Amino acid sequence: DVQMTQSPSSLSASVGDRVTITCRTSRSINIHLNWYQQKPGKAPRLLISMATSLQSGVPSRFSGSGSGTDFTLTISSLQPEDFATYYCQQSYTTPTFGPGTKVDIK
Amino acid sequence: EVQLLESGGGLVQPGGSLRVACAASGFIFSSHAMSWVRQAPGKGLEWVSLIRGGSDVIEYADSVKGRFTISRDNSKNTVYLQMNSLRAEDTAIYYCAKGQEIYSTFDFWGQGTLVTVSS
């Protein structure tokens, strides 16, 4: 199995801040990396697939980068509706999720 | 509009069985892989099982292999998860999720159904 780590596990930020979340995998997955957002009591929402491909309807302040084993999700200017938990997930082999990064209000 | 509606969750005793279902609409169901993903209370996401459109490829997480069975009925646009020999650690919200062309990328999710394993 491909093991996933995320850092940080949580962060506190203010509206307007630039936020970066990192995901690392135990072996190369090319660009088969997805990012999801989950708000309390809600199902996850796919934000980015294949490391960089923004899904329809997702605001352009979200972006993804990386390949191989190191990936990044960036929110260029944090908005009130972005406070949530973010998960990375690899689709290269049997799917696995990262442990999540909780983004809350400073 | 894609919709996924899970049903069948509930309280079951350890060692018991339960079948959850997910009714899909708004897309060509038979053309897409479907997965079950679970989330224990206060915990992260765990992929459980996947079935491709023609049921030709089925995969399970090691944690449920031999106990859970995924199936689908394309005539009813429904995917199922039969859960046997349930354990306390299987307690979770169970989400069904639709696969994209990369079939283990999950682009739409249901609202989830809660399965509680307790005596």
Q: Number of H helices and number of E strands within chain B?
A: 0, 11
Contact A31, A14 (CB under 8 A): no
What are the angstrom distances between the C-alpha of B23 and each of A57, A80, B18, B93, B96? 24, 33, 17, 16, 9
pLDDT band (50, 70, 90) for residue A105: confident
CA nearest to A93 within chain B = B104
CB atoms under 10 Å from CB of A93, counted, come to 13
The answer to whether the beta carbons of residues A71 and A24 sit under 8 Å apart is yes
Torsion sign, CA atoms B39, B99, B66, B70: positive
Banded model confidence at residue A106, pLDDT cuts 50, 70, 90: confident
pLDDT of residue B102: 75
**Quick one: three-class SS letters along chain A?**
CCCEEEECCEEEECCCCCEEEEEEECCCCCCCEEEEEECCCCCCEEEEECCCEECCCCCCCEEEEEECCEEEEEECCCCHHHCEEEEEEECCCCCEECCCEEEEEC
B85 backbone dihedrals φ, ψ, rounded to 5°? 50, 50
d(CA B40, CA B26): 29
d(CA A27, CA B7): 37
For chain A, report the end-to-end CA distance as a whole number of angstroms. Answer: 36
Whether residue A98 has pLDDT greater than 90: yes
Q: How many CB pairs under 8 A join A and B?
A: 55
Cα torsion A4, B81, B5, A33 to 10°: value is 20
Query: Which residues in chain B are closer than 8 Å to A36, comparing Cβ atoms?
Result: 45, 106
pLDDT at position B81, please? Answer: 98
Give the model confidence (pLDDT) of A44-93 as tens digits: 999 999 999 999 999 999 999 999 999 999 999 999 999 999 999 999 99
Which segments in chain B show pLDDT lower than 50? none
Residues of B with CB under 8 A from a CB of A: 35, 37, 44-47, 50, 59, 61-62, 95, 100, 102, 104-112
pLDDT in tens, A8-48: 999 999 999 999 999 999 999 999 999 999 999 999 999 99
Which residues in chain B have their CB less than 8 angstroms from residue A34's CB? Answer: 105-106
**Contact call for B61 and A94, based on CB within 8 A:** yes
* CB contact (8 A) between residue B50 and residue A95: yes
